[in-house]
A and B are shown apart, each in its own frame.
Chain A
Amino acid sequence: MNGNREKGMGDMVEVRLFATFREGRGKVCYLDAAKLVKASDVLEVLRIPQEEVAIYLINGRHSSMEDRVLDGDVLAVFPPVGGG
């Protein structure tokens, strides 16, 4: 699920949104994987400025904007938040 990501069976990407990113967008979006190449494309579709993103997980792993997005991936996007 993590390191060896391959083309999955589904053709959708699940994008989970958190904290302020939920405002006006809801908790989760499903995007057509065929129209996406890399992580930054997802943000563009959702109109989230890259500089507002602090944590970007693809299948639970911290990822960069350049990382590829594949069918069946689960993305989680967070603004700067923390705690303890």
Chain B
Amino acid sequence: MENGYNGRIARINLTTGEVRSEELDLELAKKFIGGRGLGTKILYDEGVATAEPLSPENKLIYITGPMTGTKSPTAGRYMVVTKSPLTGMIASSNSGGKWGGKLKYAGWDALIVEGRAEKLSYIHVEDEKIEILDAQEYAGMRSEQLDEELKKVHPECSVLNIGPAGEHQSLLAAIMNDKDRAAGRSGVGAVMGSKNLKAITVSARRTVIPAADEEALQEASRECLRLIKENGVTGGGLRTYGTAVLVNIINNTGSFPTRNWQESYYEQADDTSGETLRETYLVKNAACHRCPIGCGRVVKIGDKVVGGPEYEPLWAYGGNCGVNDLNAIDEANMWCNEYGLDAISTPCTIAAAMELYEKGCISEEECEGMPLEWGSAEAIVEWTKRMGEGRGELAKRMADGSYRLCEYYGHPEISMSVKKQEMPAYDARGIQGIGITYATSNRGGCHVRGYLISPEVLGLPEQLDRTAVEGKAQWCKIFQDLTAVIDSMGLCLFSSFALGAPNYAALLNAGTGTDYTAEELLTVGERIYNLERLFNKAAGMKPEDDRLPKRLTEEPIKNGPSEGMRSRIDVTLPQYYEVRGWENAFPTEETLRRLGLTES
């Protein structure tokens, strides 16, 4: 095909061993683009919303977008779409690296994995050939070693896998690819583990994806590349300092959650910043397939050279656990990659456990020789390893996330989560708009479903007052809709620091032959966002699931530049439902009709 798509999806049933090639429905693809949008549509239509997440009835969709593997800048992304065992709702976890591009070059738009293998298995994709192979000899193997072992068997392949955490079905388990890239959130690795699927290797001979209009794509890509390079963030800041440069920015706005969000300003933050990382442990930067930004970090830990931490784990292991030992944070982050754990939810759960320990809910005996004390560099490393291995009763409990942990001890309010998924590194009391994103994200506590930090803190595309509430609902909707588009096209969200909806429309139209205006494209994003909400409704979501932890609404910030502030989600959430055309957290019939989402 010459429209960005391969036109083929592989359906792999691990129970029966059957592998089937199915034709991609191009009409559906136009309506939902690909990636996150199309993956959700397939999952919803196939009735997975009511399946038990860790049962054979759940499905795992590894799906690229029409731009994945093309000449478009940042075109190296793929999505894992499934029903989350952590939230019980939609999961769509995005990752970069090389794997997504390889899958596309091999001739597939997506793999739909169903059922459960009798014994530990892996899937090998070599262009049109797909095999299910025995993986028993790799049982318990950590991610990096497995990557190397599988490359000995299939030279030149790209490896996606789960570590031990996915095998023991930790609800915080990630899916890793290319060693240190992760589809990290919502426990997608546990779903893979529940299917007895250890890895998917992909080899491809081809390196080109034909576009509908090669010349137009070249022109649109050149323009986007120019904008990305000229933009101070994508053309300089991210490459030089990585996402970790945010540590000092967010801390200086007094919105840097500290000691499990009990405070919001961390005196030692600079010890864990992008600037300090660059001066100390940084070896070089790294880039995903077709990415001119190169935000990835490569760091040294003793003699080892490994993938380094992003802003999120630097915050979550750092200020949120009261730890300022950068080397220990690098190491804990490495163990997340090695065991295949979500590097946001894992340290956030350790932070929640530290508060439970501080309050006397977790006893010293339960800690088995490693007290969960604030600021303990030893504790963050050791507890990450224990959670990865599922070693010990407390670690097993922690490996299912902070909500279940805190609920077990009778204090669910200590879990700083939304829909049972841990919130990331921006305090929604000091930055009002991001609270709407957290509360209404279809996959639970998450910043990359509508990154309002961009206008509220970074001033892109324009500077908003972070403390104001008016107008934030509308901004949130636009950011959520545009993000759904980018995630569905197979591009990196970071491109949006430099690009806007007209640029994405130009790329998509050239690649696929559509003729979307920027406005129409945002409507496609809106359709995807509403479909995810329909999935959640079918999965049993209730309106009260769109809530922030009480700490954000009832406990004003105690220290720093945002002292005294609390979230005004009580004001912004009704405004948000109004701009979305939702009632009681769900789309009205009229909204569904307008978006073409009514049952036909």
Contact = CB atoms under 8 A, between A and B. Distances in A.
B493 interface: yes
B459 A62 contact: yes
Interface centre among A1, A60, A83 (most CB of B within 10 A): A83
A22 interface: yes
Given A1-B561, A19-B240, A80-B236, A54 B458 contact: yes
A54 to B, nearest CB: 6
B254 interface: yes
B295 interface: yes
A83 B448 contact: no
A84 B243 contact: yes
Given A82-B460, A84-B243, A84-B448, A18 B497 contact: no
Interface string A66-81: 0000000010101111
B275 A22 contact: yes
Nearest to A81: B237
A59 interface: yes
A81 B561 contact: no
A57 B237 CA distance: 18
Interface string B331-357: 000000000000000000000000000
Interface stretch (B245-253, B515-523, B541-549): B245-253
Interface in A1-42: 1-2, 16, 18-20, 22, 27
Contacts of B460: 82
B311 A55 contact: no
Interface stretch (B121-129, B154-162, B184-192, B449-457): B449-457
B55 interface: no
Nearest to A18: B248
Given A22-B275, A55-B457, A55-B459, A83 B252 contact: no
Contacts of A18: 245, 248-249, 275
Contact of B453 (A57, A74, A84): A84
A23 B132 CA distance: 54
Interface string B556-571: 0000111100000000
B174 to A, nearest CB: 17
Interface residues of B, number: 45
A81 B367 CA distance: 40
Contacts, number: 98
A1 B246 contact: no
A60 B254 contact: yes
A16 B237 CA distance: 18
B238 interface: yes
B463 interface: yes
Contacts of A54: 232, 458-459
A60 B560 contact: yes
Nearest to A58: B561
B405 interface: no
A80 B232 contact: yes
B253 A60 contact: yes
Nearest to B465: A62
Interface in B96-113: none
A60 B255 CA distance: 9
B249 A78 contact: yes
A82 B244 contact: no
Contacts of B249: 18, 55, 76, 78, 81
Nearest to B295: A83
A54 B497 CA distance: 13
A18 B279 CA distance: 13
B459 A1 contact: no
B347 to A, nearest CB: 17
B527 interface: no
Contact of A83 (B232, B243, B463, B561): B243
Contacts of A19: 237, 240-241, 245, 274-275
A83 B295 CA distance: 8
A82 B497 contact: yes
Given A2-B561, A84-B493, A79 B237 contact: yes
A19 B240 CA distance: 9
Contact of B252 (A16, A22, A79): A16
A1 B430 CA distance: 14
A20 to B, nearest CB: 7
Given A62-B465, A83-B311, A57 B233 contact: no
A76 B275 CA distance: 14
B466 A62 contact: yes
Contacts of A74: 561
B303 to A, nearest CB: 28
B325 interface: no
Interface in B211-260: 231-234, 236-238, 240-246, 248-249, 252-254
A15 B240 CA distance: 22
Nearest to B311: A83
19 contacts: A2-B562, A19-B237, A19-B240, A19-B275, A20-B240, A59-B561, A60-B252, A60-B253, A62-B465, A78-B249, A81-B233, A81-B249, A81-B458, A82-B238, A82-B246, A82-B454, A82-B458, A83-B311, A84-B453
Interface of A: 1-2, 16, 18-20, 22, 27, 54-55, 57, 59-62, 74, 76, 78-84
Interface of B: 231-234, 236-238, 240-246, 248-249, 252-254, 270, 274-275, 295, 310-311, 447-448, 451, 453-454, 457-460, 463, 465-467, 493-494, 497, 560-563
4 A-B pairs closest in CB distance: A60-B561, A80-B232, A83-B243, A81-B237
